Structure 1
């Protein structure tokens, strides 16, 4: 069936679409092609690897996101991304209040079953919350999208139009883990106990953390997104979920970003894909007393404040779910961990990621929500420490060549 998304949009209206590997790229590209004759249009996008969204976008299109994730960082670099800073747990409420575009929603779904029902596949997250408040839905039915459990099952009649595809899902991009990642990961694993319920992100360092947990037992998993590393731990008998306070025996997530092999494997495991209003809800996370959150950062200052959004004025990250999980792990869970390399940049631009004060000026995660900061040089346990003690511990896990300057900054200006 041939459709034109422009038929469902009028000037001044708004559209949203699914993110990551669940982004319905053919439909999104139709919007980009139609904006000049339909616009102005407001669009909400999450994580995107769509190359069209790293190019010059139509003047009549305003792209809004909760961060500069994936290709959207290029839009931020060119000053054409409107970032809405918010906790990931707040996105469902923003849709409910009409504060995010909700005239048209574009989704990628699994093929219909015998009853004509489809699932949101590997992209339930904010999509499941948004569809309830969206006037018109258009779907890409991808025959390679897995049918998943936990999220809504929708009749094809719910969609104003459908296009069928048979294309591979996007695989997790990025570099492989290196020796520095593995050193950090081993330090992280050393402060995670057997029986913990783990949350971890996506990327080379989170992948190394998952690999470093291979010797643990009876772990649970509750996170916004899963990767192949989670599947590996399930198959190795490490992730069993037997000690989880809620959803025992089940891995709970909102989305997946895997290899093609991972997408084939995930349907064979006890996974449930849930809406953001469940995966990130404070009321849900507060029931996970065994929760250990592991999140990354761009920089951490000597107060223990975390910057995870901006680098040199460009949005390359987001508040996202970091604060939701860090706060829950610190207050009602077991431990909130921030893991990062001690240096960033190359050549003359190499710099310490442990800094006297956040260069970006933007605090993503407050110091009171961080129990430990981990680099390749060790673990800085901050809980129960005074301001001065925290600063000294953070200096100890900084890169050796920057420690003297950091210590000097403490003597020149009292940390408070």
Structure 2
């Protein structure tokens, strides 16, 4: 498309936010761009117009969003359908106006193709000289949304970084544009506790030089990354990268030189951090973002030798089954990419699947290692190691009795004797 043609098209499709959101009607399916790329100007206007809307299904994948649509005033207007939950949704869950879809992140693009989304609300950069906008912070499922949704409304935010990978979209693929210039959603890392740092050190023992890693989010993840500072030639192929990953890059620990694919590139689907991270990734060809059906695809991950997936959990049973989603009737997180990366690690030559978690919950009054767990995210045959602040449980190739012994050994000392007694009663 000639420069003058796309420019005319771009300006003709610009709308005031009130007019753009008026395209949304009751009983429609609306999908919000995930993670820190959720378009806040569009969301704020959607909430303002809630009184004219009923039975609107809102699909989201939450990291960092304030979830304005989960306010009690929105209960009778929106049905929230989330793939990755947040504490902001608890009230909507309890009210019955939020439901959880347990789907691997790699499969959400396929879900979108089947589900027939009416409206996609996304965020992009202003177009470049050839008419291409950039997805900036996150690619995730947005390329599929752009192709499949009936109407695509984009918030054009000049503060988005320009990133590389599969991040560009032409203005001709977007139906309406709303211009904004506002700060991006950021997530800062906290200071890991002594328990979390101990977990990080144990996990680091399992990571050899030249390995490629995937690490989740949170203080345990940050402690693991901080414990890798003496490693060499580490690669990154992950769901997200954070400020702590940036530190490893700047130290020369992350080089990506031993990866068989995307060599010398740090690969993720989303950036989850502060302005420092976003600024570093702006126009940086060494950082590449791709959709989840690439980053989380086990067949892709299997091409990388020594791939180590490192994820967390809420609780583990004595056979090694993992619950990373739910406590009681409340979904705290989601399947996310845990099973995607575990499958990839198991198919990778020299790969390992690692679960890291504190030994206790509720200020030390409850063991996270239990006889039984009510919800299973990852089955026992898929996990190689479980790590707590008390050490490493090696599960691969172990019998049920051997697994129980390994896991009791890394439980908190206050609960070990009772775990062993309960295990004998229940299974021996």
TM-score (structure 1 length as normaliser): 0.94
1:129 to 144, 167, 182: 144
**Structure 2 CA distance for partners of 1:366 and 1:212, relative to 1, 3 Å:** same
Alignment of 1:85 with 2:115, yes or no, is no
Is contact 1:195-1:243 (8 Å) kept? yes
User: Post-superposition shift, 1:269?
Assistant: 5.8
What residue is the counterpart of 2:407 in the other structure? Answer: 394
What residue is the counterpart of 1:206 in the other structure? Answer: 221
**Structure 2 CA distance for partners of 1:107 and 1:35, relative to 1, 3 Å:** same
User: Post-superposition shift, 1:51?
Assistant: 4.5
Q: Deviations over 1:284-343 (max 9, x none)?
A: 122123210000000000010000001232111101100111122124351000000001
Deviates more, 1:175-184 or 1:214-223: 175-184
What residue is the counterpart of 1:405 in the other structure? Answer: 418
Pairing 1:45-194 to 2, within 5 Å after superposition = 45-48=60-63, 49-56=65-72, 57-69=74-86, 71-98=88-115, 102-173=117-188, 175-194=190-209
Is contact 2:240-2:272 (8 Å) kept? yes
Deviates more, 1:165-174 or 1:114-123: 165-174
What residue is the counterpart of 1:321 in the other structure? Answer: 337
Structure 2, unaligned runs of 5 or more: 1-14
Alignment partners' CA distance in 1, 2:300 and 2:390: 34
User: Post-superposition shift, 1:116?
Assistant: 2.6
What residue is the counterpart of 2:48 in the other structure? Answer: 33
1:309 to 306, 325, 335: 325
TM-score (structure 2 length as normaliser): 0.92
- What secondary structure sits across from 1:373 in the alignment? strand
User: Post-superposition shift, 1:173?
Assistant: 4.8
What residue is the counterpart of 1:337 in the other structure? Answer: 354
**Structure 2 CA distance for partners of 1:40 and 1:312, relative to 1, 3 Å:** closer
User: Post-superposition shift, 1:77?
Assistant: 4.3
1:242 to 239, 242, 257: 257
Alignment of 1:370 with 2:387, yes or no, is no
Is contact 2:197-2:223 (8 Å) kept? yes
- What secondary structure sits across from 1:413 in the alignment? helix
1:2 to 16, 33, 37: 16
2:396 to 377, 383, 391: 383
User: Post-superposition shift, 1:76?
Assistant: 2.6
Deviates more, 1:247-256 or 1:279-288: 279-288
**Structure 2 CA distance for partners of 1:70 and 1:284, relative to 1, 3 Å:** farther
User: Post-superposition shift, 1:88?
Assistant: 1.2
User: Post-superposition shift, 1:73?
Assistant: 4.1
Alignment partners' CA distance in 1, 2:356 and 2:94: 25
1:299 to 306, 315, 329: 315
Q: Deviations over 1:262-282 (max 9, x none)?
A: 111123461111011111112
Is contact 1:329-1:335 (8 Å) kept? yes
User: Post-superposition shift, 1:117?
Assistant: 1.4
- What secondary structure sits across from 1:140 in the alignment? strand
User: Post-superposition shift, 1:178?
Assistant: 1.4
**Structure 2 CA distance for partners of 1:221 and 1:74, relative to 1, 3 Å:** farther
Alignment partners' CA distance in 1, 2:137 and 2:62: 14
User: Post-superposition shift, 1:54?
Assistant: 4.2
Q: Deviations over 1:385-413 (max 9, x none)?
A: 11100100000000000001100111101
- What secondary structure sits across from 2:17 in the alignment? coil
Alignment partners' CA distance in 2, 1:289 and 1:409: 40
Deviates more, 1:405-414 or 1:65-74: 65-74
Give the CA RMSD over aligned residues: 1.7
Is contact 1:14-1:42 (8 Å) kept? yes
**Structure 2 CA distance for partners of 1:323 and 1:210, relative to 1, 3 Å:** same
